[in-house]
Amino acid sequence: MNNLKFKPSGFTLVEVLVAIALFITLTAGLIGLTQLSVKSTAASKLRVKAGNILQQTVGAVMAVRASNFSNLDQGIFHPEIVSDKWSLVSGTETIDSIERWVEISRVQREVSCGGERVCLIVESGGVVDPVTFKAKVVVNWQENGQDQQQELESLLTFWR
């Protein structure tokens, strides 16, 4: 008699089920990574846009300082182009879901300079400097349900 042994040439049901389970697990992981990547990219784009708006606002404030320093006053403003030049308009402004504003405040200097040409800036108890303002430029936006903010401070002076 011939000794014929049966050798299966296909996959068993268990092997197929293990392969399917492995495929589903890997696919779910890749989908999760893709979603995380999309969220991260969107947040990055928003941060870059906010940084650009911050830089543009600082540039506009410097243009106002150069062309119209004598009309600067304390308050909260946003920059706008009026009659072909930058102006500071009262209130805040929202650009593509990013809010921006400029806080202009007076600066106080020490009463006595101790022989120095320019007195140091103090928070309080000094004398108001009529030719210096502090400008704080702020951008604010929502990212993944949380408030985000960038700000930059600069002194605006009338030294000529």
Report pLDDT digits (tens) over 61-113. 999 999 888 888 999 999 999 999 999 999 999 999 999 999 999 999 998 88
**CA of residue 140 relative to chain centroid, distance:** 7
DSSP state of 141: E
User: What is the per-residue pLDDT for 158?
Assistant: 81
DSSP state of 122: E
In this predicted structure, the answer to whether residue 2 has a pLDDT above a threshold of 70 is: no
Residues 126-138: tens digit of each pLDDT: 999 989 999 999 9
Nearest CA among 148, 158, 42, 155 for reference residue 99: 148
User: CA 129, 81, 50 angle in degrees (round to 5)?
Assistant: 80
Classified as helix, coil or strand, 71 is helix
In the chain, where the domains are located: 13-157
- Enumerate residues 6+ apart whose C-beta is below 8 A from 3: none
d(Cα 137, Cα 127) in Å, to the nearest integer?
24
pTM above 0.95, yes or no: no
The percentage of the chain sitting over the pLDDT mark of 90, rounded to a whole number, equals 52
User: What backbone phi and psi angles, to 5 degrees, belong to 30?
Assistant: -65, -40
What residues does 150 pair with on adjacent strands?
139
CB-CB contact of 121 with 127 (8 Å): no
